[in-house]
Amino acid sequence: MDNPFLKRATEYYRDEEAFLSVISPEPIRHFLREAEKESLYEKLVNIRGTPGSGKTTLAKLFEFPALSALLRNRSISTYQDLIDAMGSYGAIVGGRLEVIGCRLPLETDYREVWEFEYPETVKLTLTTTLIQARAVLAWLRHLQKGGYNLSDVRIEARQEAEAALNAIGGVAGPALLERARQIERSLYEVVGALVPPDLDQLDEAVTSAYRPFDVIERIVVKNPDGTERRLKPLVILDDAHALHPAQFRGLQRALIRREIRVARWILARLDVLHPKEAFEALTEERADGAQMPGVTASRDYLAIMLQSLDERRKHRVAFRRMATDMAKRYLVQMEIFRTRGLQRLENLLGDQVPPLTESKFDDFARSVDAAQRRLRISDKRRRELLDAIEAYTPEGMSSVPRELQLAMLSILMHRMEKRGQTGLFDTELPEPASKLPKVDSAVFAGARIHLLHKYDRPYYVGIEDVCDASSENAEQFLRLAAELVEFSAVNIIRGESALLEPSVQHKKLREKATHVIQEWDFPRSKQVRKLVDTLAASCLQKTLEPNAPLGAGANAYGILQEEFEAIPDRHPELAQLLQAAIANNAVTVVPRHNCKNKEWCLLELGGIVILRHGLTLKRGGFLEGTSASLASLAREGA
């Protein structure tokens, strides 16, 4: 069965209509919400995110073929939202294209330039020359594929750039193309050679002043009716983390110059940065990225982080909206669901958790009775607690199922014990009873997770849990959703209901999480796996304390903010390990978390790790620790 959820987003890139059909406008609105539309095309834009966070999808959407397809299909109502979103960010104005975007993946060829035994300035020139030649080729190729004749294409050049204009081949489309092809071929020969030529043997074409980014203001195309369109050229450099760190910095410096008229975006993963820079980027009040000498972030470039650092609640809600919208777009592509009118993933996920079996319930009741006796709590007090529990109604539920009531009772009894410790030989209760422990959502959440671990009661249920377990990562969401969708489709084929029972959802999600973690094979993945397993085990221990001190439990490790910031200097190995963990969604950094009058930095376990170990998806519960103890844990795993 063809399951579109199993495909990477890149699978859709070759066909614009297919690509647009799975694109939700939500992430564009969400990530670019604070960007002024002029800044997107005037300054250098640095976009950072984890793998699968949607960097390439964003880039693809701003490319000329996707925008053209969007306008071609403007009469289709489902695209209207997307057209509006692109309009808000200046790509489409008055129903016409305003920019001509091209995406250049930097994964191949470019890094090899840095291995040449040439001076760094030469290597940087070769890098920027290759990028510029390929950008020109990509813009012109897009126009040709879009049905334009090259003879109807010209550029508007910057004033006083005559010499530079000659170096790029002039203003006419065919000459521009020919010059760019010549440059690419010459550079490709150097990059592909087993033994690169000596510096003085380098082809003049590749070292000459070929700088189209400094020259081109607009690309002008003539329409069939004779009118002209002036398009702002945009180059999107994707996967820039593949460059050498010095090459990356050099490229940033080269593209930050204000003389450049071409709009330019650099997309990279967080681990492109030096650990110190990455830690600074993560903990800054606003994600402004790496600092470079003489460069002021807000004035010279725009930084966009595809990961929430502030207003986390808002981000989580926005991601849920985006993910459900995305799931809807994928689901309608599956005939088996479409023909049955099943268009929303949330409608496939049943939320009625079945009660515990009688035998399990009786077993649990006996253990609670035993706890009551051990804690020497009178029947009267137990009744009072039960009354308070029965009076409590959690949000979205009409009543609390009996096994949860019992689990809540157990937690409350243990909380009472903590309040009034009795002596070893006391037979009477002390007087803690002046005030009963509060029955609230934390007790309810604690009861749910305790029952997960005691009786395997389904815990991860419903669309919100699938979204929250995705760590705000679109690809991770699709991988989790794929499991559920696949199982639902199999049910339909078997003639059963498409609705997935909570126990099935819970089991499938946890199995998938275990599989994903086993499959990790990024650099340092073995050490990362060991570190998060150890942290998760400690969190679980805290979570399962009988009085549920943190309610739903812990899923993070907290270090004082100032200690966290010093990790790159004091524990460089740990810094690299954390950087790998963060870059691959194993851990999320929550800076400046205020608790007990102190400022903490939380290392929150990723959604997949949480699923695997049966921890809460609710945020905030953490273990207090130090960077030294974390470094020692990391060393043990090495």
Partner 1 sequence: MTRLWDPCISHGAGTSEDFLTKFFADRSRRAVVIAGAGFDPRSTRATELLAAVLKDRLRGIFLREERSGGQSALGETGNANARRLTELVPNSRVAAFPVFSNDNATVGGRRTVKALESESWADVTDIVVDLSALSVGVAFPLVKLVLKHARERRRNLHVVVTDDPSIDEEIEGISSEKAETLFGFKGALGVHDSSGVTILWLPQLTARRRKALGRVYATLTEEQEVDVCPLLPFPSRNPRRGDGLIEAFQEEFESVWRVDARDLIYVDERKPVDLYRSVLDIDDARKRVFRKLGGSLTVLSPFGSKVQSLGALMAALERDFPVMYVETLTYTSTPSKRADGDLVHVWLHGEAYGHAVDAAVIEEEAKCP
Is residue 300 within 8 Å of 457, Cβ to Cβ?
Answer: no
6 binds partner 1 (CB under 8 A): yes
Q: Which of residues 137-166 bind partner 1 (CB under 8 A)?
A: 137, 141
Closest CB to partner 1 among residues 145, 230: 145
Q: Which of residues 489-548 bind partner 1 (CB under 8 A)?
A: 519, 521-526
Both structure tokens of 227: 């009118």
Stretch that binds partner 1, among 34-42, 181-189, 444-452, 500-508 (CB under 8 A): 181-189
Q: Which of residues 238-277 bind partner 1 (CB under 8 A)?
A: 242, 244-245
Q: Tell me which residue of 262, 264, 261, 269 sits closest to 251, measured CA to CA.
A: 264
Which residue of 74, 122, 188, 376 would you call a contact of partner 1, by CB under 8 A? 188
Alpha-carbon gap, residue 184 to 203, rounded angstroms: 12
Q: Count residues contacting partner 1 (CB under 8 A)?
A: 41
Alpha-carbon gap, residue 125 to 250, rounded angstroms: 10
**CA-based angle 34:472:33, to the nearest 5?**
10
Closest CB to partner 1 among residues 191, 589: 191
Q: Which contiguous run of DSSP H or E holds residue 217? A: strand 216-222
Least distance from C-beta 271 to partner 1, angstroms?
A: 9
Least distance from C-beta 142 to partner 1, angstroms?
A: 11
SS3 202: coil
Which residue of 192, 354, 420, 572 would you call a contact of partner 1, by CB under 8 A? 192
Is residue 531 within 8 Å of 634, Cβ to Cβ?
Answer: yes
One symbol per residue from 108 to 127: x for binding partner 1 (CB under 8 A), - otherwise; what is it? xx-xx-xx------------
Q: Which residues contact 563 (CB under 8 A, 6 or more apart)?
A: 601, 626, 627
Least distance from C-beta 15 to partner 1, angstroms?
A: 9
Is residue 134 within 8 Å of 95, Cβ to Cβ?
Answer: no
Which residue of 184, 214, 472, 483 would you call a contact of partner 1, by CB under 8 A? 184
Stretch that binds partner 1, among 155-163, 178-186, 358-366, 619-627 (CB under 8 A): 178-186
Which residue of 72, 158, 181, 229 would you call a contact of partner 1, by CB under 8 A? 181
Closest CB to partner 1 among residues 323, 528: 528
| CA distances in angstroms from 174 to 21, 178, 205, 442, listed in the order given | 34, 6, 18, 68
Least distance from C-beta 368 to partner 1, angstroms?
A: 46
Closest CB to partner 1 among residues 230, 526: 526
Closest CB to partner 1 among residues 194, 424: 194
Judge residue 461's burial from the number of C-beta atoms within 10 Å of its C-beta, 0-12 exposed, 13-18 middle, 19 or more buried.
Answer: buried
Is residue 470 within 8 Å of 424, Cβ to Cβ?
Answer: no
Q: Tell me which residue of 350, 404, 407, 306 sits closest to 45, measured CA to CA.
A: 306
Q: Where are the alpha helices (DSSP H) in 114-211?
A: 120-145, 162-167, 173-192, 204-207
Closest CB to partner 1 among residues 202, 577: 577
**Residue numbers at the binding site for partner 1 (CB under 8 A):** 1-3, 6-8, 10-11, 13-14, 105, 107-109, 111-112, 114-115, 134, 137, 141, 180-181, 184-185, 188, 191-195, 242, 244-245, 519, 521-526
